[in-house]
Amino acid sequence: MKLHILGCYAATPRTLTNPTSQVLEVKNHMFLIDCGEGTQVQLRKHKIKFSRINHIFISHLHGDHFFGLSGLVSTFRLLGREKELHIYGPKGIKEAITLLLKLGDSWTNYQLYFHELTNKGPEVIFEDDKITVETIRLNHRIYTNGFLFKEKLGERKLNVEAVAKHKVDKAYFQNIKNGRDVVLDNGTVIPNADLSFDPPTPKSYAYCSDTAYKPDIVEQITNATALYHESTFLESEVHLAVRTKHSTAKEAAAIAKAANVGQLILGHYSTRYKSIDLFKEEALEVFPNVELADDGKFFDF
């Protein structure tokens, strides 16, 4: 599971900072999460292949989280894309994007599917045999969702030496990986635990931006491998966080602590502060494992 931060600053693009967008690589998927202005430039800059992006998740319809989407959809067309593209976002996203395509007579030559979200509680919006993606209902000025990406438990790993020792036929290998015992021709039962190793512990990634402090999300994201949580303000400006329905670094850390996550990644910083290190310093007072997102930064979980 790898996370590429393309942009992680609040509100407006600047010469050295970009609004929110990130790419999560997991189980052969490359998911794009939010798509602020400049996203496709950042994709090129960091040599992330456009063609691998088949699913895009938009948290809410504020410009710093989706104004780059129409351009990316159009660029896919210019690049001759043929694979279908799925976009998950709040109701209204289809109207916004298709209006621009209509006015520019730039309809895609690939299948474009919109999955508009209206549910007020968590729901699974994507699932295959390796991963699920579910919404995390957040509290912002407009309808907003975070996203929880969860790996499914994989196959058990074959213990090659044990299999050879017991002279187990290859025909049983898949059953062993699936967790089954083996019955030899003479009736001897060999427990699966003697022939295989536990699969890797499934990883999970919780993305929460933008939101006011919302402790009722803790149950859903408990024990996540990593949590990205917005920290637009420091506690000295908590009154602004309350008014704009954003969070402080301290509040993000409180969520991470209560949820017992493995790692907290802060982002969506207001540019009023002289250094983003201040956010980490504040969060470390509450939670011990804090990292700072920054444009172009890469995390490997």
d(CA 250, CA 286): 7
- Spatial neighbors of 44 by CB under 8 A, at least 6 apart, are none
Q: What is the pLDDT of residue 84?
A: 98
**Looking at per-residue confidence, does 16 or 146 come out higher?**
146
Q: Is the pLDDT of residue 184 over 90?
A: no
Alpha-carbon dihedral sign for residues 211, 214, 216, 219: positive
d(CA 124, CA 102): 31
- Of 8, 69, 59, 54, nearest to 299 (Cα)? 8
What is the set of active-site residues?
64
Share of the chain above pLDDT 90, in %: 94
Q: Is the pLDDT of residue 8 over 90?
A: yes
d(CA 76, CA 82): 9
Average pLDDT over residues 182-195: 91
Average pLDDT over residues 141-164: 96
d(CA 53, CA 29): 8
Of the pLDDT bands very low, low, confident and very high (cuts 50, 70, 90), residue 5 is very high
- Domains along the chain with CATH numbers: 2-154+200-300 (3.60.15.10), 157-197 (no CATH)
Average pLDDT over residues 119-148: 97
Of the pLDDT bands very low, low, confident and very high (cuts 50, 70, 90), residue 4 is very high
Of the pLDDT bands very low, low, confident and very high (cuts 50, 70, 90), residue 185 is confident
d(CA 140, CA 74): 29
d(CA 118, CA 8): 25
pLDDT tens-digit map of 218-258: 999 999 999 999 999 999 999 999 999 999 999 999 999 99
Average pLDDT over residues 149-177: 93
Q: The tokens of 52 are what? A: 């691998």
Q: What is the pLDDT of residue 216?
A: 97
Mean pLDDT, rounded, of the chain: 96
Q: The tokens of 187 are what? A: 């009736």
